[in-house]
Structure 1
Amino acid sequence: MYICEKDFMKSSQLYKGSLNTIIMKLLEENGRMYGYEITKKVKEITKGELKITEGALYPALHKLEAEGFLEVEVEKVDNRLRKYYKLTESGTTETVNRLSELEEFIRNMQTLVNPKLSY
């Protein structure tokens, strides 16, 4: 499944709404990451089920940066400039809030979809 800006599969809409939270959670866990590393990690964690395209990732990163949740560090790696993203202090706080909201959403959806398994 791909998260992309244009050609959506129906269920990718569900993931797209969580893209920023996914990015922030990965940065919380890993400290700092560059774009390709984020896409690779998501693909690895989901065993290939979820693939984030550059067309979805970079606008999300830029938006999070503009909102003050990410800061960017540029380093030269193999004669190329690489942008590393990491959470700001407010980004760390926002990650906790968004993860809490997402967990509540998942619990509510589980209750609606399969009430017998609800706790």
Structure 2
Amino acid sequence: MSNSKLYKGSLTTIILRLLSEHPKMYGYEITQKVKELTDGELKITEGALYPALHKLEADGLLDVEVRRVDNRLRKYYKLTEKGTKETASKLNELERYIETMQVLLNPKWTT
């Protein structure tokens, strides 16, 4: 996607949605999953992802579990109960937005 600004407003929803489908994920795994699911159309940078993850954690939507993997510490993120509820809310909000944009992009003018 040539204009990354179009999806930046949806980054929180993208993260929450992925974590609703996977019990826990680490940052790089999230970026790769998005890239895979979108056939490379969306590429989330670390500079965008980690601030979003930290904000979600600070807001009580994510729990973090630190594990040692190959002699390195890796942070795994998972939804809290509040995060699960927020995911449903964010998905509904995004669906309404997409429907509204469809109306604007493909209006059925009546005279």
TM-score greater than 0.5 by the shorter chain = yes
Residue 4 of structure 1 corresponds to which residue in structure 2?
A: none
1:85 corresponds to 2:92: no
1:43 corresponds to 2:35: yes
**SS state at 2:76 partner:** strand
* Partners of 1:61 and 1:100 in 2: CA distance: 21
Q: Which segments of 5 or more consecutive residues in structure 1 lack a partner in the other structure?
A: 2-8
Residue 57 of structure 1 corresponds to which residue in structure 2?
A: 49
**SS state at 1:15 partner:** helix
Q: Which segments of 5 or more consecutive residues in structure 2 lack a partner in the other structure?
A: none
- CA-based RMSD of the aligned residues comes to 1.0
* Partners of 1:30 and 1:114 in 2: CA distance: 35
Shift of 1:115: 2.3
1:75 corresponds to 2:67: yes
**Percent same amino acid among aligned pairs?**
72
* Partners of 2:9 and 2:31 in 1: CA distance: 16
Paired residue total? 108
Q: Which runs of 4+ in 1 moved over 2 A?
A: none
* Partners of 2:80 and 2:49 in 1: CA distance: 18
* TM superposition score normalised by structure 2: 0.94
* Partners of 1:38 and 1:57 in 2: CA distance: 9
* Partners of 2:56 and 2:5 in 1: CA distance: 19
